[in-house]
Structure 1
């Protein structure tokens, strides 16, 4: 074994030991949910279904499926949601945005979901396209519309480090409160990498009078470059210590995965100790890290 391999092996054993220690520190049962996105190719679709098949054994509270601001992606989301519901029996929650649909179209979509026994929705404004006009609706308006069509279980978005377009933290909190006032059942946060970021945000929500559940969004990182790209799009802070941890792992996927799992487990451990009971995992359609982390949390697979 050469020196590079020995170093990688040593690092892997160290991260595994740290991960096992974190497992012992988790005292309470936690609930999880998973997010997927519509596949663009047959091979990506196979990866998606392989991931769904594996993660469903952990009995998540629900799974969600994203879509972009165009009808083609939206139609794929609709079909995947229906397929998940029919093939697995899991609660499947489609993302629904109001940026590219009028109220009549949104009501039609909501009724179609209701008629197909889809009762959970992630309600979002959606990304404004370049040079796009001011939205005719916002997430709170969409929540209100959905509640008029049926008693949906509705998740909305929250931003511990402030939405990039928000003029201030106070304004962003007021927007979140409006979503809950309109009928949202919970908020799922944008991903973050310092537990204190979430805990401070939760405290601010309480001071704002927001009483709904705030579920932390966890992104297990296996590719640092992809992380930096995502973080840049959403103004999420990537700490310097993460950059140092991933240095030199470009050709070492095992160590990258162990680092990613350890970082996620550290956050979950701290947040669990602070009373957080539910976690939402951004899977990027891959099951490996999310499955390993959830298994470490005490979630055991059931028979298929």
Structure 2
């Protein structure tokens, strides 16, 4: 079996202080020698410039960085221009997503779904970019059914995606079941597991409610029992997520993609337990 890929996700900072903090964070995480870093964007592409600036700064430091590209609200011309900027800077990897719809946002933009964006990127740039798309082992919160969600995923792969990164989850069974169902549809691209370290109970509950990620009852109850004891929350979270990663890798997951939240400590601690 080939060596699993480890990658790490950042979000673009909004303030000079945030930018300084991210520089310090990525210096620490770069020492882990991940396969690449990725950089997200805001709803409706609100921080697309921040994504570009962060990726270019990382490229200048010699780091392999993959920008996230959303089709929400974007015209064909604006996305074509962004693709050209990335090509001009020799960026070879993209994460192509529909993106979150901003509050009150109706239909708009040239592309409604990620598969249309992937198809456009391929048409415009051929095989210049390695394109990863999103996958949802526990179903996208707006999907009508798991079957519909899997069909949406299949469309993205058929449009030209090279691989996928999942939404985070805490059930290895959900991941393996999703991969098995994908294989039955002859989807053979690598499906990398998205990993969210547990460091803050309130924040985790809020994120999970928004994105539809299930937190197992026993994990929720244990985290809630610690109250404001952040040290115990972090120690328990480290054990839970490390064990999840071990199961995933033992079961053949091709890689792990860490949602770092621009923090170094938790991702580093998990990583060091795994290698």
TM-score greater than 0.5 by the shorter chain: yes
Question: Residues 113-155 of structure 1, C-alpha deviation per residue, up to 9 Å, x if partnerless?
Answer: 0001111111001112334333541111111111223220111
The answer for the alignment partner of 1:182 in structure 2 is 159
Question: Shift of the alpha carbon at 1:41?
Answer: 2.2
> Which deviates further from its counterpart, 245-254 or 92-101?
245-254
CA distance 1:290–1:280, change in 2 (3 Å): same
Distance in 2 separating the partners of 1:256 and 1:40? 28
| Residue number among 210, 219, 229 corresponding to 1:252 in the alignment | 229
Partner of 2:49: 75
Equivalent in the alignment of 1:241: 218
Q: How many residues align?
A: 271
Task: Confirm whether residue 63 of structure 1 aligns to residue 37 of structure 2.
Answer: yes
Give the corresponding residue for 1:99: 72
Based on CA coordinates, which of the two structures has the bigger radius of gyration? Answer: 1
* SS of match in other structure, 2:272: helix
Q: Give per-residue Cα distances to partners, 1:151-198, cap 9 Å, x unaligned.
A: 201110011111111111111111111111111111100000111111
Give CA deviations for 1:20-45 in whole Å, capped at 9, x if unaligned.
xxxxxxx9953200000011222222
Say whether residues 1:160 and 2:137 are aligned partners. yes
The 5-angstrom pairing of residues 1-304 of structure 1 reads 29-70=3-44, 72-87=46-61, 89-135=62-108, 136-137=110-111, 138-150=113-125, 151-298=128-275
In the alignment, is the contact (CA less than 8 A) between 1:66 and 1:77 conserved in 2? yes
- 1:195·1:267 contact (CA, 8 Å) conserved in 2? yes
Q: Which structure 1 residue ranges, 4+ long, deviate > 4 Å from structure 2?
A: none
SS at match of 1:95: strand
Q: Could you tell me how far apart the structure 1 residues matched to 2:214 and 2:252 are?
A: 24
Name the TM-score, length of structure 1 as normaliser. 0.85
Question: Is the alpha carbon distance of 1:264 and 1:29 closer, same or farther for their aligned partners in structure 2, counting shifts above 3 Å?
Answer: farther
Aligned counterparts of 1:127 and 1:133: Cα–Cα separation in 2: 12
CA distance in 2, matches of 1:189, 1:132: 25
Which protein has greater RCO, CA pairs closer than 8 Å, 6+ apart? 1
CA deviation after TM superposition for structure 1 residue 232, in Å: 0.6
Checking the alignment, whether the CA contact within 8 Å between 1:30 and 1:278 is kept in structure 2 is yes
Call closer, same or farther: CA 1:132–1:276 in 2, change over 3 Å: same
Structure 2 length as normaliser, TM-score?
Answer: 0.93
Relative to structure 1, the CA distance from residue 118 to residue 29 in structure 2 (aligned partners, 3 Å threshold; closer, same or farther) is: closer
Q: Which moved more, 1:106-115 or 1:238-247?
A: 238-247
Contact 1:64 1:92 in 2 (8 A): yes
Shift of 1:249: 2.9
Question: Where in structure 2 are there 5+ consecutive unaligned residues?
Answer: none
